[in-house]
Amino acid sequence: MSVYVIADTTQEERARIVAESIGSLDGACDGCRPGLIEMYRDYIEGRKELRQINMEFSARYISGAEGPKREDCGFIE
C-alpha cells in the first residue's frame, strides 16, 4: 500500500492513480465522474491520504449525512 502514500508519490503519480481507478480526470459528463474527481482532489494535491478520504465517505454513507447534490452534469454543495 505504501506505493499510494502521499510521501511516496508525486502529484502527477497521484493524479494517474486516481485516473486509472476512475477512468479519467477529464470530468466527462457521465454523472458520477466529476463528483469522484472532486472527492479525491485532496489526495491528488497531497492534503489527505486515500484511506482518510474513503473513511470519511464511508462514515457519511453509514450515518446518512448529506453529501453534494447532483445537478445536471455536476455536483453542487
* Per-residue pLDDT reduced to its tens digit, 4-23: 999 999 999 999 998 888 76
What residues have CB less than 8 Å from 58, skipping those under 6 apart?
none
* Per-residue pLDDT reduced to its tens digit, 27-64: 455 555 566 778 899 999 999 999 999 898 888 666 55
What residues have CB less than 8 Å from 27, skipping those under 6 apart?
33, 34, 37
The whole domain housing 42 covers: 2-76
70 falls in which pLDDT band (50, 70, 90)?
low
Instruction: Give the count of domains, the chain.
Output: 1
